[in-house]
Amino acid sequence: MVRIGNKNIGEFPILLAPMEDVSDPPFRYVCKLFGADVMYTEFISSEGLIRDAAKSVKKLDFSDFERPIGIQIFGHDIQSMVKAAEYAERAQPDIIDINYGCPVKKVASKGAGSGIMNDIPKMVAMTEAVVKSVKLPVTVKTRLGYDEDRKDIVEIAERLQDVGIQALTIHGRLRTTRSSVPADWTLIGKVKENQRMKIPVFGNGDVVDGPSAKHFKDTYGVDGLMIARGSYGNPWIFQEVKHYLKHGNLPKVPDIHERIRISRIHLEKSVEWKGERQALMEMRKHWGDYFKGFPNFKPFRIRIMQANLYEEMDQILKEIETAFNGIQPVERGFDNTNGWTDLPEECRL
């Protein structure tokens, strides 16, 4: 059984990655329905949190249904990170997670996210300060290194463990690696092979279905997997991965009725949490993923992007369900050498 602190999280946990503008409470809710073992909030700016900025504070929202859950914070200033961790702890999550993985320029250029991998002593000092400031278990999500010349994750993993983190998630890319380049899990495997490592090590990067999950599990010996892009419009992936690891075959692909049911729950939770107008605007980035692979979907996509009322969207969903009744989507392929294979032209959105 894998543990973070005193919390059992399963024999081989499957985690939902913290993703800005994606892993909000409505999306986490539908992922939890299908078996996500641990989830994290969107990353929260330490500076925004200690200034009581409304957007940052709202990201602390979660329900007991989502537990165990971690609040993820990021920043470049050690004292601000300590104050933010203490602030986040008052929301009573199960975990405080530190983001050392975000490669976005406006974050990394300030020495936050993956930018701090350019200063490992500061990274270690910040982690130690956060660990000492809270009673909750602290975990870290990071990358393989700052750039091609500094693939330091084996050293970093040891040093972060030594200052008290209780689990580590490693994304199999560098700060400089584009997401279109297949993840490199080799160094993740080396961290796991290091006999000094005693804490759980989770792998992240290109876990997109049952077969890819089994490949990474069997090849690199990680304690669990974190899923990011593979969950877009696909909360069923947690169920699929667990089924495949247990039985060695893939469950039935969700049909249009199941996709409508779950996307509607997602929409309704979004309206409840954000209000109708904001929910409809922000759900636009999800619809294409829920219906990816269905041929000739573009006319519906155009209407979805123009819908401004819940009643409009409700009617569109009813029409989609009727139009694609009995039609199975064309699934995107993935191989561990070349990454994603393209959908046929008529299925691209």
Same domain, 174 and 233: yes
Q: How many domains does one find in the chain? A: 2
Percentages helix, strand, coil for the chain (3-state, rounded to 5) are 45, 15, 40
Same domain, 243 and 297: no
Beta strands 334-335 and 44-45, pairing class: unpaired
Same domain, 272 and 191: no
Helix (DSSP H) and strand (DSSP E) numbers for the chain: 14, 13
Kindly state the tokens that stand for 68.
Answer: 């165990």
Phi, psi torsion values for 321, nearest 5 degrees? -60, -40
Q: How large is the average pLDDT for residues 240-266?
A: 96
Known catalytic residues are 102
Same domain, 240 and 269: no
CATH of the domain at 240: 3.20.20.70
Global pTM exceeds 0.85: yes
Pick the last residue of a domain from 224, 247, 270.
Answer: 247
pLDDT at 204: 97
Phi, psi torsion values for 179, nearest 5 degrees? -65, -20
pLDDT at 346: 35
Query: 34-65, pLDDT tens digit by residue?
Result: 999 999 999 999 999 999 999 999 999 999 99
Same domain, 243 and 127: yes
Kindly state the tokens that stand for 138.
Answer: 């602290």
Same domain, 183 and 217: yes
Same domain, 264 and 336: yes
Query: 130-179, pLDDT tens digit by residue?
Result: 999 999 999 999 999 999 999 999 999 999 999 999 999 999 999 998 88
Q: How large is the average pLDDT for residues 116-124?
A: 97
Beta strands 14-16 and 38-40, pairing class: parallel
Q: Residue 131's CB: how many other CB atoms inside 10 A?
A: 21
Give the closest residue to 170 by CA, choosing from 162, 151, 284. 151
Same domain, 307 and 336: yes
Q: How large is the average pLDDT for residues 108-128?
A: 96
Same domain, 179 and 44: yes
Q: Are 42 and 23 in contact (CB under 8 A)?
A: yes
* pLDDT of residue 345 exceeding 80: no
Look at 210-214, 232-236, 325-329 and tell me which has the smallest mean pLDDT: 325-329
Same domain, 269 and 307: yes
What value does the mean pLDDT of the chain take?
93
Q: Are 171 and 204 in contact (CB under 8 A)?
A: yes
Show the domain range for 189: 3-247
22 three-state secondary structure: coil
Q: How far apart are the first and last CA of the chain?
A: 41
- List, as one string, the DSSP characters of 45-74: EHHHHHTT-HHHHHTT---GGG-SEEEEEE
How confident is residue 235, by pLDDT bands cut at 50, 70 and 90?
A: very high
CA distance 107 to 109: 6
Peptide bond into 299 cis (omega under 30): no
Same domain, 306 and 237: no
Name the helix (H) or strand (E) containing 216.
Answer: helix 210-220
Pick the last residue of a domain from 247, 267, 291.
Answer: 247
Instruction: Write down the residue that tokens 């909750």 correspond to.
Output: 136
Pick the last residue of a domain from 183, 212, 247.
Answer: 247
Same domain, 227 and 274: no
CA distance 4 to 90: 19
pLDDT at 331: 66
Kindly state the tokens that stand for 186.
Answer: 């080799």
